[in-house]
Chains A and B, each alone.
Chain A
């Protein structure tokens, strides 16, 4: 009898299977990249004098310049090699989901916009889309409002990715890039200020549409931001992408495979860097993304360099998208003319008592949203940004949960850092591009 000893014995597999055939979650468990140790245990360890053959536990952050805010990493080191890592988060936790339960649906965007502060408009968009779905008006939002939303979020994607290039450059030692990145971002923020009145935390996209129409001459303003960008991106290529030092520093560092990334729930540039062309704008289109032509940028090796290159090229794709949007923004209303959710226009308030009362009531009491629960997801610069809303028919959400891509993506960090140098860890953290406001909420 011919028994396949590898698989067919009565007790299951008897031989060690090759790594290749392992399921991603088994592999992740076997490698054990995550350090599971409470703070008290770590403090005990620190009090002991480590012997020669022992590994060392050190803390990086929460005040480290390259941890992007207040991220703290507990690292197990063998000399200079990172073994296990535990990201410790929560330093920016302000209970925004709890706060969200105490704000009306109209006030909600002011709250969620503060989560991912590098791309605030995406938070507002996903919250507004979830609210509109509960209200059952998502089909009735005027096309102009939807196109304005797309214009603003794509501009925001550019700002967010440029900010990534800046901080990434600074982390790795290209200090010049830091200045250029902030400069480009400032151009976009100036446009945002003109449209929304604020540089950050705009509260511009609201349930029912957007807060205000685009100002006169907005096309020229957008073009003024966009036109110098391609040339500057080429400059960045010259400054970094082709540089041997830059490539040596990033290539082959912080590797992750597609199976690992999917098992860990990673989305956005981290997943795409492994070669999976998953972009919600393309795969599950929302707004009018199905009417646009753009490419989903993917990597090959899943290393830090791929993640850098993907973000750089996504800026180019976003520029392409914005140019198409400029041609397509129709005229019309910028918010739904549904008296239930939309306050009366400012001019009416001066002449009509009813309009004044209506305006007052909508901003103090809010509008009632039918009961139900809904999950909506969009592609933020960092991955899948989701919003889960449960309503019990009142004017405030019963439960508001935001699935922050940074929060989930941060779990890939221990796996990407394992076996690398501590100095490379800085590059890896940077390539995850976590925004701590969204991680901690």
Chain B
């Protein structure tokens, strides 16, 4: 894993798994380089965390400014049998990251899910629409300021539903 140092990006270790902290504007480019040069040929997972009311200190290496949202990308190298995790800080006022669709088409549904649940936009995504919630849903359910069980039930096409 020492050759990852060539990126000159902060690297940390989380329970034996290497974590690379990527600035968001370079995300797609780095994932492509990891795929072509380092053999991380599969993008297993794309998800996000909303660190709004995180109580512990954010355990980030030096040089990484904590932001409210974090995109977590899990890559897999089938040849080396290793995993690599990328963590990308995304600020609240401009919640957008480049889409990985052009590098790994399999991220399409995962990115739509993150958009649906967190409202983080993926630029250049071919079809950035809600995937699990109804198309006309208001709000982003997995954000920490979205309370559970305290919203009126939203029904499609029925006016004055509560």
Q: Which of A263, A386, A393 contacts B44 (CB 8 A)?
A: A386
Chain A interface, >50% SS class:
mixed
Using an 8 Å CB-CB cutoff, how does the interface string of B34-73 with A read, 1 for contact, 0 for none? 0000000111110101100011110100000000000010
Give chain B residues whose Cβ lies under 8 Å from the Cβ of A411: 105-106, 108-109
In contact, A375 and B45 (Cβ under 8 angstroms): yes
Please tell me which stretch of A56-64, A93-101, A109-117, A236-244 contacts chain B, meaning at least 4 of its Cβ atoms lie within 8 angstroms of it: A93-101
> CB of A377 within 8 A of chain B?
yes
- A371-B56 contact given A93-B133, A263-B104, CB 8 Å threshold: yes
Give chain A residues whose Cβ lies under 8 Å from the Cβ of B74: 375, 386, 388, 403
5 more A-B residue pairs beyond the given contacts A98-B142, A133-B15, with a C-beta to C-beta distance below 8 A: A98-B148, A374-B14, A374-B15, A375-B83, A390-B49
Please tell me which stretch of B1-9, B20-28, B88-96, B124-132 contacts chain A, meaning at least 4 of its Cβ atoms lie within 8 angstroms of it: B124-132
> CB of B145 within 8 A of chain A?
no
- A265-B49 contact given A90-B133, A393-B56, CB 8 Å threshold: no
Kindly provide the distance from the CB of A265 to the nearest chain B CB, expressed in whole angstroms.
3
In contact, A399 and B49 (Cβ under 8 angstroms): yes
Kindly provide the distance from the CB of B95 to the nearest chain A CB, expressed in whole angstroms.
16
Give chain B residues whose Cβ lies under 8 Å from the Cβ of A170: none
> CB of A349 within 8 A of chain B?
no
In contact, B44 and A25 (Cβ under 8 angstroms): no
Using an 8 Å CB-CB cutoff, how does the interface string of B93-105 with A read, 1 for contact, 0 for none? 0000000001111
Q: How large is the interface on B (under 10, 10 to 19, 20 to 34, 35 or more residues)?
A: 35 or more
- A90-B134 contact given A265-B43, A284-B81, A398-B54, CB 8 Å threshold: yes
For the complex of A and B, list the 8 residue pairs with the smallest distance between their C-beta atoms, beginning with the closest: A265-B106, A371-B56, A264-B106, A90-B132, A36-B127, A93-B132, A392-B56, A403-B45
6 contacting pairs across A/B (C-beta < 8 A) = A95-B148, A98-B142, A373-B72, A375-B45, A375-B85, A401-B45
Q: Residue among B42, B72, B105, B129 with the most chain A CB within 10 A? A: B105
Using an 8 Å CB-CB cutoff, how does the interface string of A6-37 with B read, 1 for contact, 0 for none? 00000000000000000011001100001010
Kindly provide the distance from the CB of A312 to the nearest chain B CB, expressed in whole angstroms.
25
Within the assembled complex, what's the spacing in Å between the Cα atoms of A407 and B104? 16
In contact, B55 and A392 (Cβ under 8 angstroms): yes
> CB of B159 within 8 A of chain A?
no
In contact, A264 and B105 (Cβ under 8 angstroms): yes
Kindly provide the distance from the CB of A280 to the nearest chain B CB, expressed in whole angstroms.
10
Using an 8 Å CB-CB cutoff, how does the interface string of A352-395 with B read, 1 for contact, 0 for none? 00000000000000000001111101000000101010101110
Kindly provide the distance from the CB of A108 to the nearest chain B CB, expressed in whole angstroms.
16
> CB of B30 within 8 A of chain A?
no
Give chain A residues whose Cβ lies under 8 Å from the Cβ of B127: 34, 36
Give chain B residues whose Cβ lies under 8 Å from the Cβ of A36: 126-127
Give chain B residues whose Cβ lies under 8 Å from the Cβ of A133: 15
In contact, A25 and B103 (Cβ under 8 angstroms): yes
Give chain B residues whose Cβ lies under 8 Å from the Cβ of A99: 148
Kindly provide the distance from the CB of A134 to the nearest chain B CB, expressed in whole angstroms.
8
Using an 8 Å CB-CB cutoff, how does the interface string of B104-129 with A read, 1 for contact, 0 for none? 11111110010001000000001101
Give chain A residues whose Cβ lies under 8 Å from the Cβ of B113: 407
Using an 8 Å CB-CB cutoff, how does the interface string of A72-108 with B read, 1 for contact, 0 for none? 0000000000000000011001010111001000000
> CB of A52 within 8 A of chain B?
no
- A392-B109 contact given A25-B103, A262-B78, A375-B83, CB 8 Å threshold: no
Give chain B residues whose Cβ lies under 8 Å from the Cβ of A34: 108, 126-127
Give chain B residues whose Cβ lies under 8 Å from the Cβ of A276: 78
Give chain B residues whose Cβ lies under 8 Å from the Cβ of A97: 117, 142
Within the assembled complex, what's the spacing in Å between the Cα atoms of A95 and B157? 22
In contact, B47 and A401 (Cβ under 8 angstroms): yes
Kindly provide the distance from the CB of B50 to the nearest chain A CB, expressed in whole angstroms.
8
- A403-B135 contact given A375-B17, A388-B72, A392-B55, CB 8 Å threshold: no
Give chain B residues whose Cβ lies under 8 Å from the Cβ of A410: 109
Within the assembled complex, what's the spacing in Å between the Cα atoms of A110 and B135? 29
- A384-B44 contact given A392-B55, A393-B55, A398-B49, CB 8 Å threshold: yes
Within the assembled complex, what's the spacing in Å between the Cα atoms of A230 and B107? 39
Within the assembled complex, what's the spacing in Å between the Cα atoms of A157 and B133? 30
Give chain B residues whose Cβ lies under 8 Å from the Cβ of A403: 44-45, 47, 74
In contact, A90 and B81 (Cβ under 8 angstroms): no
In contact, A283 and B81 (Cβ under 8 angstroms): yes
> CB of A127 within 8 A of chain B?
no
Chain B: which residue is nearest A415 at the CB level?
B105
